[in-house]
Amino acid sequence: MVRTMRHKQSFLPLLALFLLAVSFPFFASAQATSDDPSATLSSDPGLYLRVRLSGPIKISKLKTRDIVEGVLSRNVYSADRQLFSSGSRITLHIDHLERRRRTRNDHWPWVVNAFTPRHENFPVFKSAMLSDSTGEHSLQVSLISISRMRDIHAKAKNKDKPSVPQSVEESPPVAVNSSKGKKTRTPTMILEAFDSDDARADDARANNQTNYPADADSNPPDSLPAGTRCKLLLLNSVSASKSKPGDPVHARLLEPVFIESKVVLPAGSIFDGKVIKKTPPKWLSRSGLLYLGFTEVALPNGGRFPIAASLAGAQLDERSHTRMDTEGALHGERPGKAWMAINIGVTAGLAKEVDDTVQLIIEAVVSTATDVSTAGTARIVSSCVSGLYMATRKGRDVVLPRFTEMDVSLDRPASVHPIPEPESRSAASAAE
């Protein structure tokens, strides 16, 4: 009787664990489709602000009316003009807190994420005060994300390759703070900003904007050389597990591209591309792969021209286990020691519960069965179940969320002469 009661008690945790193991992947998949931040870029995109905070902060500890300070880590552009310079100080007041779905990441296996809170308190800012050499400027802002970032880059095929024209500014290195002997990256805040006062905004632009020199008697270059680098902001999320080859990819140019001090591509140009290749995470802990390509540029004035460009770098959350090869393809890294240790622990617990449950079932069906006679069969079944569990563990996904900063490089020269619109598009415009 004692033996039977012990088996009945051990059967309940096994049943719960089995149901969780079976149902969670489907639940996580359903959640992933709706897992996007509530902040979105509007149809009339504003200014893109990248702010390096003055020190580490913990989002869960923030309160209403708290003050958050930092500095711009990148120049802010509108078309071919610089509105605010890197290093300008910005002060934000938390208007209120709201609960948002926690951003999905692959830092831990699903068994840990299953018990992680799915929502977190997120600060909401409505206004900001930006201070620079020309004075103070009031902006309406919307918080897109706040996290610690890291850069990944495609390895150069030829280290002796000469430099090529790039966007006017490269991303500054992420600040690192030292706390108790441990180095941690300072959080980066991404904001979308709008001018809160049109008259004051016009004055700010007039005083602060930088016009880049151009020869009055010469025309800007009509082509971009191969290797030209562009800084983009991804406008739609893509991943190795959810996206399909041919799915569209759209990104916005953050910084104007110059050649010989002449603007060739103004900020705000839209880069259109697609998913060229993808490999979802597979069994045996094999990670995913994602390869993007850009094929066309739409200028703010409506002109369009074809290009051939691929990824050369990206800024991702520091918890993202993603690397980039020489071709610009993104690969998920191999599961680490902590990942494997957790899965092995779950496997050991699952094997123990299966062993006890199989013995309970056999002894209930066969009246002459004993612990000794059923031990071998139970171990074989538990070994098969635990082995199947480990074999079906998938590797890391490759996820590029919306608002990811990317560097792309032209694979071959591109003419900036607009191409005529297709007849179908022209007909649709005429109908409107």
Report the range out of 58-67, 210-219, 277-286 with the highest average pLDDT. Answer: 277-286
pTM assigned to the model:
0.74
Encoded tokens for 249: 């990819």
Mean of all residue pLDDT scores within the chain:
76
Encoded tokens for 388: 């199947």
Encoded tokens for 308: 């051939």
Residue 110 has pLDDT above 60, yes or no: yes
Instruction: Kindly state the average pLDDT of the residues 189-201.
Output: 65
Choose between 252 and 63: higher pLDDT: 252
Encoded tokens for 202: 């016009």
Q: What local confidence, expressed as pLDDT, does residue 369 receive? A: 76
Among residues 17, 7, 1, the alpha carbon closest in space to that of 360 is found at 7
Residue 17 has pLDDT above 50, yes or no: no
Q: What local confidence, expressed as pLDDT, does residue 60 receive? A: 74
The DSSP element (H or E) to which 183 belongs, if any, is strand 182-185
Taking each helix axis as running N to C, give the angle between helix 337-365 and helix 2-33, from 0 to 180 degrees, rounded to the nearest 10. 140
pLDDT class of 432 with cuts at 50, 70, 90: very low
Which one-letter DSSP state was computed for residue 168? S
Q: What local confidence, expressed as pLDDT, does residue 355 receive? A: 85
- Cβ neighbours of residue 411 closer than 8 Å, sequence gap 6 or more: 226, 308, 309, 310
Range with the lowest mean pLDDT among 204-213, 230-239, 302-311, 349-358? 204-213
Q: From CA 429, how far away is CA 347, in angstroms rounded?
A: 60
Residue 22 has pLDDT above 80, yes or no: no
The predicted-structure confidence for 254-294, as pLDDT tens digits, reads as follows: 999 988 888 889 999 999 999 999 999 988 888 899 999 99
Give the count of beta carbons closer than 10 Å to the beta carbon of residue 13: 15
Q: From CA 377, how far away is CA 362, in angstroms rounded?
A: 9
Residue 174 has pLDDT above 60, yes or no: no
- Three-state DSSP state, 386: helix
Give me the percent of the chain exceeding a pLDDT of 70: 71
Q: From CA 85, how far away is CA 209, in angstroms rounded?
A: 9
Encoded tokens for 379: 């171990």
Which one-letter DSSP state was computed for residue 127? E
The DSSP element (H or E) to which 24 belongs, if any, is helix 2-33
pLDDT class of 253 with cuts at 50, 70, 90: very high
Instruction: Kindly state the average pLDDT of the residues 328-332.
Output: 91
Choose between 196 and 131: higher pLDDT: 131
Q: From CA 325, how far away is CA 313, in angstroms rounded?
A: 10
Residue 20 has pLDDT above 80, yes or no: no
Q: From CA 250, how far away is CA 345, in angstroms rounded?
A: 42
Residue 215 has pLDDT above 80, yes or no: no
What residue segments make up the domains of the chain, in order of their start? 2-25+338-391, 45-148+186-211
pLDDT class of 352 with cuts at 50, 70, 90: confident
